[in-house]
């Protein structure tokens, strides 16, 4: 059975970033025993990732590179913000490198990466951590099957066999 829209796909993969000098840095690796399982075609994955696995079936392997503009976008220098130090009276000032869970006035949740702390402010980068990165994937399709009606109504996969409760 080949991958198509509204299928549950289980994939094992190795993800590296390709640096400017051509070197690779390992970002993440999954296994066939603990694959990434997702509902194909509903916007859960990078569209270019889905394009590269469309039509594959269990056991198929693929290797592909996704450029930043087709992944998480380029780094936006305007996405660096200063959060008033007063915001951290109760929780304490976060260290450089901390990831802060934030939300905007519309209730959208996102994360910021602390890049600097001054006496007046916490300087945070709102770019996605993978923004500006060239992504190098090696994937193997573990399984694919049509999604159940329940998975389609929930908008996400319920595991490889459809029985994981979420």
Which CATH number is 35's domain given? Answer: 3.10.50.40
On whether both 56 and 18 belong to a single domain, the answer is yes
Number of CB atoms found within 10 A of residue 9's CB: 28
Number of domains in the chain: 2
On whether both 145 and 115 belong to a single domain, the answer is no
Which position has the higher pLDDT, 66 or 108?
66
pLDDT for 110 beyond 70? yes
Asked if residue 164 is part of any domain, the answer here is no
pLDDT for 132 beyond 70? yes
On whether both 58 and 20 belong to a single domain, the answer is yes
Which CATH number is 108's domain given? Answer: 2.40.10.330
On whether both 81 and 104 belong to a single domain, the answer is yes
On whether both 61 and 96 belong to a single domain, the answer is no
pLDDT of residue 67: 97
pLDDT for 64 beyond 80? yes
**What average pLDDT does the structure give for the chain?**
91
On whether both 68 and 83 belong to a single domain, the answer is no
Asked if residue 118 is part of any domain, the answer here is yes
On whether both 145 and 116 belong to a single domain, the answer is no
On whether both 117 and 146 belong to a single domain, the answer is no
Asked if residue 98 is part of any domain, the answer here is yes
On whether both 65 and 45 belong to a single domain, the answer is yes
Domain, as residue range, for 82:
77-125
Mean pLDDT to the nearest integer, 49-58: 96
């Amino acid at each position: 059975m080949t991958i198509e829209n509204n299928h549950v796909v289980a994939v094992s993969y190795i993800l590296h970033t390709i640096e400017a000098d051509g070197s690779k840095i390992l970002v993440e690796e999954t296994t066939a025993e603990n694959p990434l399982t997702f509902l194909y075609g509903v916007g859960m994955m990078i569209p270019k990732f889905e394009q590269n696995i469309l039509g594959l079936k269990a056991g198929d392997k693929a290797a592909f590179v996704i450029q930043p503009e087709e992944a998480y976008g380029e780094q936006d220098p305007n996405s660096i913000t200063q959060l008033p130090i007063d915001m951290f009276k109760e929780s304490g000032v976060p260290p450089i490198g901390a990831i802060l869970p934030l939300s905007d006035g519309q209730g959208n949740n996102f994360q910021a990466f602390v890049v600097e702390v001054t006496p007046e402010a916490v300087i945070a980068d709102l770019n996605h951590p993978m923004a500006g990165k060239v992504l190098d994937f090696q994937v193997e399709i573990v399984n694919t099957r049509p999604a159940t009606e329940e998975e389609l109504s929930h908008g996400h996969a319920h595991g490889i066999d459809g029985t994981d409760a979420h």
